[in-house]
Amino acid sequence: MKKHLVLRYSAVLFFFWFPLGMIIPISILFMQSRGLTLSQCSLVMAVYSAAIIILELPSGTLADLWGRRRIYLLSQLFILASSTLMLFSRSLILLMLAQICGGISRALSSGSLEAWFVDEYQKQSPEGNLQKTLAATNTVTLFSLALGTLTGGLLPDWFASAPLSQSLGPFGLNLILNVALNTSGFLFVWFFIEGDSAKNSAGREAGLTQGFSGKAGALGTVFKQVLREPRRGRGIFLILLANLAWGFGISALEQLWQPRFRAILPPETGTWVFGLLSMGYFFAGMAGNLAAPGICRLFKQNYPRVLFLGRFFMGAYFFLLAGIRGPLLFSAVYLILFSHNGLGNSPQEALFHRLIPSPARATFLSVASLFIYIGSFPGVLAAGFLAESRSIPLAWIPAASVLTLSAFLFLLVRDDRPRGKINPAPGVRTEG
């Protein structure tokens, strides 16, 4: 049963991340092909972050009350709308509208299926090693992204000579396949992921009838119960601050690596190079993710120390990246940087899941995601402004500084709970 659960969840992850991967290596290039400047690209990305910030917490609460599967299916409808709008957009307004739909989708999807998976895993394997299992599912995510980015980088060169590219542009095929795969993902969840049990579903339906004030009151009770434990509440808050710093730093890197890499490449280099480096970025993340269980054992499952090392070296390599002018060295440092990012994924997730209560798991995951986008919102605006007014390397210095300093937040987290287990908040029922 546990193996079947992991396989189904892995399939959902593939259908979610593979189509997204096809957009990653060409996202900024696509917007520039539609006539946008770097500052306008920053504005579009900021709108995306703003939509997430506004809806992240309400969507997590809805997932806990109404059902995680239902909210995830709704998120898939919005990503389909986003991809369709992007396909036919020819103006800044339409691209912003597409990103608003994408932001709504991201807010609805963040944590909904993960919360379902973690609770189901805990029911089927109470003594299981959550960090090791999350490392395995994270590997599926990164492999899907790697395969998607390679595909996304190769498609424009091939599609450029097709007749349809005259009307849809060189990146049209990326978006057409994105729509098709997201549709497939919607259908897979609809048919192969069961909904909440009748008992829990009925409870959630009853919760919805209480209105917003009732839901907010129930959620507030859970938060208070968690925060009554000073060490536990402090740990959650420190992880949220680390998420905020990660959002600020990584947004500058993700926004500007494509134009920076293009600037140091020889002229007339094809888009396949972007796809190749994007694929390498995710394979590097996979390497770090696969190494995480062994490194955690080396540190006797002391996740805060592992997270400190991963984040600190990630920031240090970001500093190095800002000063590099050769494409080969740039690629090498870029990949090492993301291997350290991958190293921290499953330990941070396992640590966070150990601190948060099961009944509000999706809500807390939405809060964690919210902090990332609160950080990324000023991050993309500041990076875009500095890149256009000064230079991309200069725009990366503040981002790298914040990322490096945030590593010390993990050293302040006290983790005294049994390794690999998830504990409920005091007085809170744990049936999901």
Q: Which among 421, 346, 358 is positioned nearest to 63, based on CA atoms?
A: 358
Residue 214 pLDDT? 53
CA distance 238 to 230: 12
3-class DSSP state for residue 430? coil
Query: Quick one: pLDDT band at residue 359, thresholds 50, 70, 90?
Result: confident
Residues 187 and 178: their CA atoms lie apart, in Å, by 14
Long-range own/partner contacts, residues 336-339 (CB < 8 A, 24 or more apart): 336/284, 337/284, 338/281, 338/282, 338/284, 338/285, 338/288, 338/314, 339/284, 339/285, 339/287, 339/288
* Residue for token pair 């920053």: 42
Residue 334 structure tokens = 């870029």
- Per-residue pLDDT band at 338 (split at 50, 70, 90): very high
How do residues 87-108 score in pLDDT, each as one tens digit? 888 889 999 999 999 999 988 8
Q: Mean pLDDT throughout 359-364?
A: 77
Which two tokens mark 213? 């004030």
Find the helix packing angle between 211-227 and 38-66, rounded to 10°.
90
Assigned token pair, 53: 């910030």
Residue entry with tokens 């995601």: 369
What would the pLDDT profile of 144-176 be if each residue is shown by its tens digit? Answer: 988 888 888 888 877 877 777 667 778 888 889
Amino acid at 308: F
Q: What is the pLDDT of residue 426?
A: 37
Q: Residue 333 has which token pair?
A: 């440092």
The predicted structure's pLDDT at residue 428: 35
> Which domains occur in the chain, in start order?
2-194+201-206+216-410 (1.20.1250.20)
Q: What is the DSSP letter of 128?
A: S
C-alpha–C-alpha distance, residues 55 and 1, integer Å: 34
| pLDDT exceeds cutoff 70 at 213 | no
Burial of 21 (0-12, 13-18, 19+ CB in 10 A): buried
Enter the tokens of residue 417: 């709970």
